[in-house]
Amino acid sequence: MAVCHSPPAAPPADGVRVVALVGHPNVGKSALFQRLTGRYVTVSNYPGTTIELSRGQARALPGVTILDTPGVATLPARSDDECVTSRVLLDAPLHAAVLVGDAKSPRRTLSLALRLAELGLPLVLVCNMADEAAARGVQLDHDRLAEALQVPVISTVATSGAGVAEVTAALAQAAPSPYVLRYPPDVEEILAQIAPLLAGASVAPRGLALLWLGGDPAARAWVAGHLPAAAQERLASIDAQLAGGRGAIVEQIERTRADAVERLAAQVVRSRGAPASGLGARISRLATHPVWGLPVFALVLLALYWFVGVFGAGTLVELLEEGLFGQIINPWVTELVRASVPLPLLADFLVGEYGLWTMGMTYALALLLPIVFTFFIAFGVLEDSGYLPRLAVLSNRAFRRLGLNGQAVLPMVLGLGCVTMATLTTRILERPRDRLLVTLLLALAVPCSAQLGVVLGMLASVSFAAMLIWAGVLALVLFTVGWLAARLLPGERVPLLVELPPLRLPRASNVLVKTLARLEWYIAEAVPLFLLGTAMLFVLDATGALPSLIRLGEPVVVGWLGLPADASAAFLIGFLRRDFGATGLFAMQSAGALSPRQVVVALVTLTLFVPCIASAAMIAKERGWRTAAGVVGLVFPLALLVGGLVNAALYLVGWNG
Amino acid sequence: MITLRWSCPLCGHAFDPAAHSGCASCPLSRGCRIVCCPNCGHSSVDPSSSRLARWALGALDWVARSRPAPDRAAAASGPLPLSRGPRGRVRVVAVQDGRCDARERLRGYGIVAGVTLEVLQHRPAVVVRVEHTELALEDEVAAAVLVEARGSEV
């Protein structure tokens, strides 16, 4: 677990008080963070949205920094993202921890509350989603709970801001809970041996000892990094003495905790409430139904295709590219530049065939922006609806063949948004092997939104059959490579266990804010690369190197893939960003230079093509340079191989539109 | 196995088409898909001769087997694994030590012995509700949870 052993993030400066938001996945920590700090972080309706720490200044509390942590399903931590959270609890001396719980599931919240109370951190207990709990009739006796744990208990609805002011007020006077849970004698005996060794910790030694016993990687790393050698040896010998008996000890600890939670719940939970009913619950059943789940999925895909492919890549692009840019802006800019720039070469550089404005900016703003915009909206709606975890249930069987579980569908689907971000999300997977496999498949066969939009637009103008062929080939490659890779990377498969959040109607404000944030990020990242790629092409063209490069690629591009020689240029810029390359193909298709078969072959090849620079860098950051080089080295020839095979197959069956 | 109950569409007489051998003397009986009612003589298509019908029967059979009948499961003595247990409210009797820290992962969601769950579906994954949290578990994980049916009492 690399995340646990890397050195801690910059320690807080003197006088800065740090408050961490901690809780189970998908309980609204990020929404609360946004309310407390006013800083934007992505909020979605599925577990695992937050994988790295976000920090921001509390608006109402000067000098207080708020940390948003990844959700913990279990503490002691087990996965990488949980580890990030347990490290926060141990490493930085926290001013307070805010336990964000789901008001609908008080027992789960209580269980985590006990664990945090044991760490001796000043604690504020927040029962979020109080509106949903009230709608289901769940009632909790706050006064009794506050009395039992001696910590403030507050109800909030983070999405609307209700109760947030009370959280701020409570933070000012948070104190450690005096609650102590007594364990069976043999556990207490071991704790009495370990706790004194951990006296230097910023948390209660007893709590840290319990985490260490539970095998929490962050607690183990803390011991390795902070304790003198003698104490470490002592701990190692205790560990060796326990050996196989540790499981039984952990089991006793957990049983004691479960009993305590049950006792506490019997006191404070006044009504369990009734299960949710109504449209949401019914759609939820349909979405995970073994038979009806597929039509629901098809419906979702169709809606996505219509909104992004037909409306975004069709209607909007036509309006912008042919209308606004083609007829109004570009002629005007061209005229202006030609009139005011004396050097023809410089004018060409700006508005020529490979001009910064006429190619780079027009591609980025007129062709890609509307597509990316519609995709981000559709994707935001999908994320907030809570449909994605249900897709994990539906696709579990397919991923089983790859030695993965349905949870892998999340990074894959997120990859449709941005492969770079999705590579980071692979952290929610538990095993390094799973993370590596999904990273490879992401880099290979999952097109990102920008590319997908262009591809959908191009295929939509050919025929639905073209779309099916493209999707079918990709799925085939995905599963063949996945299957082969799973054989080469043996390992125990982790069976699926995923939380299904309630289906919710997405809030327009959240979708809009999320879309704008992503759009800004897209422009900042893509436009410079588009300009760089254009400049590269211009230089190659001006020096006369482009024709010879195109000739160099001819045997492969023309002979093997059956494409026009000009397509080499599109593949060349595809090295920078695949969507840039796709846009080049889009322009060729618009000019009538590609037959339907060539469109399909070109798109299959480009979709499988090398990952963009940003995602290659992300792979290197998350998995190391060697892996990144391996992935690129594997993907590039494979893309050309598959493209050629598709070309040959389509030629043999005589398909051409 | 689901057996086909066949009754004559005309007179309603129930009979087994496969057992009916009245046409043996007919020279066209080989491959003949028509069956005659032994009671009234009305002829109709024999469903057991149709590949499509047999396939449909097989599929229905699979569905029936994959969905444990609540009464049968409830009547069974002793606890059952969640993956084969009844639908509706069940009590967790024990959580066995499964592969891949299954027990720790389940504990994180509050699935420990003594807790009441509501089982919502079995396929393609077992979906249960713990308090108001819905969880999807693969069969392999669900098999580690032993449950017994619990009436409607809370």
Q: What is the 3-state secondary structure (H, E, C) of A185-246?
A: HHHHHHHHHHHHHHCCCCCCHHHHHHHHHCCCHHHHHHHHHHCCHHHHHHHHHHHHHHHHHH
Gap between the Cα atoms of A286 and A300, Å rounded: 13
- CB nearest to A288's CB, from B121, B133, B138: B121
What pLDDT does residue A649 have? 93
Q: Token pair for residue A90? A: 């141990």
Which secondary structure element, helix H or strand E, spans residue A143, and what is its range?
Answer: helix A142-149
Rounded to an integer, the average pLDDT of A309-336 is 85
Rounded to an integer, the average pLDDT of A606-616 is 83
3-state secondary structure of A340: helix
Gap between the Cα atoms of A221 and A8, Å rounded: 11
B135 contacts A499 by C-beta, under 8 angstroms: yes
Nearest alpha carbon to residue B137 among B116, B120, B154: B120
Q: Does B102 contact A498 at a Cβ distance shorter than 8 Å?
A: no
Instruction: Look at A19 and A326; give whichever has higher pLDDT.
Output: A19
Instruction: Look at A421 and A566; give whichever has higher pLDDT.
Output: A566
A157 contacts A129 by C-beta, under 8 angstroms: yes
Res. A3: pLDDT tops 60: no
Name chain B contacts of A272, Cβ cutoff 8 Å. Answer: 131, 154
Q: Does A108 contact B131 at a Cβ distance shorter than 8 Å?
A: yes
Name chain A contacts of B131, Cβ cutoff 8 Å. Answer: 104-108, 138, 272
3-state secondary structure of A95: coil
Q: Does B132 contact A494 at a Cβ distance shorter than 8 Å?
A: no
Rounded to an integer, the average pLDDT of A625-639 is 90
**pLDDT tens sequence across B114-138:** 888 889 888 888 999 988 889 999 8
User: Which is it for strands A497-500 and B133-137: parallel, antiparallel or unpaired?
Assistant: antiparallel
What pLDDT does residue A646 have? 94
Give residue A498's identity as a one-letter amino acid code: V
Gap between the Cα atoms of A602 and A564, Å rounded: 10
Instruction: Look at A518 and A237; give whichever has higher pLDDT.
Output: A237
Beta strand segments in A531-572, E = none
What pLDDT does residue B21 have? 57
ipTM above 0.95, yes or no: no
What pLDDT does residue B22 have? 60
Rounded to an integer, the average pLDDT of A593-621 is 87
Res. A7: pLDDT tops 70: no
Q: Does A104 contact B132 at a Cβ distance shorter than 8 Å?
A: yes
- CB nearest to A497's CB, from B121, B124, B135: B135
How distant is the Cα of B44 from the closest Cα of chain A, in angstroms? Answer: 32
Q: Which residue of A has its CA nearest to B140?
A: A495
Rounded to an integer, the average pLDDT of A109-121 is 92
Name chain A contacts of B114, Cβ cutoff 8 Å. Answer: 258, 262
Rounded to an integer, the average pLDDT of A6-26 is 71
Q: Which residue has the tokens 């949290």?
A: B133
A461 contacts A426 by C-beta, under 8 angstroms: no
**pLDDT tens sequence across A257-295:** 999 999 999 999 887 777 777 788 888 888 888 889 889
How distant is the Cα of B51 from the closest Cα of chain A, in angstroms? Answer: 23
pLDDT band of residue A460 (cuts 50, 70, 90) is confident
What pLDDT does residue A8 have? 47
Cα separation values, B60 from A127, B14, B56, B57, B125, Å: 46, 21, 6, 5, 19
* Average pLDDT score, chain A: 86
| Residues of chain B falling short of pLDDT 70 | 1-5, 17-25, 29-30, 65-77, 98-100, 151-154
How many CB atoms neighbour CB A108 within 10 A? Answer: 23
Range ranked top by mean pLDDT from A83-87, A365-369, A522-526: A83-87
Q: Does B134 contact A133 at a Cβ distance shorter than 8 Å?
A: no
Q: Does B112 contact A396 at a Cβ distance shorter than 8 Å?
A: no
Q: Is the pTM above the cut of 0.80?
A: no
Instruction: Look at A405 and A296; give whichever has higher pLDDT.
Output: A296
How distant is the Cα of B133 from the closest Cα of chain A, in angstroms? Answer: 6
How distant is the Cα of B10 from the closest Cα of chain A, in angstroms? Answer: 35
What pLDDT does residue A9 have? 47
How many CB atoms neighbour CB A126 within 10 A? Answer: 28
Instruction: Look at B100 and A32; give whichever has higher pLDDT.
Output: A32
Res. A1: pLDDT tops 50: no
Could you tell me what percent of chain A has a pLDDT over 90?
20
Gap between the Cα atoms of A458 and A594, Å rounded: 11
Name chain A contacts of B102, Cβ cutoff 8 Å. Answer: 495, 497
**pLDDT tens sequence across A155-176:** 999 888 899 999 999 988 888 8
Range ranked top by mean pLDDT from A231-240, A274-283, A542-551, A577-586: A231-240
Q: Token pair for residue A547? A: 């024709």
How distant is the Cα of A205 from the closest Cα of chain B, in angstroms? Answer: 23
What pLDDT does residue B69 have? 52
- CB nearest to A499's CB, from B120, B135, B141: B135
A124 contacts A96 by C-beta, under 8 angstroms: yes
A331 contacts A428 by C-beta, under 8 angstroms: no
A508-542 vs A578-590: helix crossing angle, rounded to 10: 80
